[in-house]
Amino acid sequence: MSGRAPPEVDQVWRTLVTLVMDSRGDWRRKVADITGLPFSRVRALRRLDDGPLTLRELAEAMGSDAPAATSAVNALEQKGLVERRPHPEDRRAKIVSLTADGRRTLGAARRFIETAPEAFAELPAKDIRELARILERFSGR
């Protein structure tokens, strides 16, 4: 599509974003209760699940700045959930990785399954199938 999208496209997008954002609060609180961590710390653990990252890479993956990532790592390290090691090639950088306890905590967070808001779950099956078909176009990006 070239040029500016019709206004209804933007309105549908804003509605979708609002629905998702409004429903995430409860889920985030439940994950924080399960793990005993603020959700921002759980997000840091999730970003480390695929492997160790430098503090800079972690900050970028979390969408935060370096001081916020350092604060998160400090708190997680105190709880024994991550470890920080010197970078093998850059002595100014640190590598952060999950510990076994960090993996267990992340596993507990992942076992809590996020469910659809009630109003969404009440949609007719054909509408859900159509929405799934539409969203599949974006999942391959």
Give the model's confidence band at 1: pLDDT under 50 very low, under 70 low, under 90 confident, else very high: very low
Which 8-state DSSP code applies to residue 5? P
Tell me the sheet residues that pair with 83: 97
Instruction: Read off the pLDDT of residues 11-63 as tens digits, 9 standing for 90 and up.
Output: 988 888 888 888 788 888 889 999 999 988 999 999 999 999 999 999 999 99
Question: What residue ranges do the domains of the chain occupy?
Answer: 8-139
- Tokens representing 24 are 């995430």
DSSP string, 27-43: HHHHHHHHHTS-HHHHH
- Between 69 and 116, whose confidence is greater? 69
Give the model's confidence band at 3: pLDDT under 50 very low, under 70 low, under 90 confident, else very high: low
Options 1.10.10.10, 3.50.50.60, 1.20.1730.10, 1.10.760.10; which CATH number does 8-139 get? 1.10.10.10
Mean pLDDT for the chain overall: 89
pLDDT at 120: 81
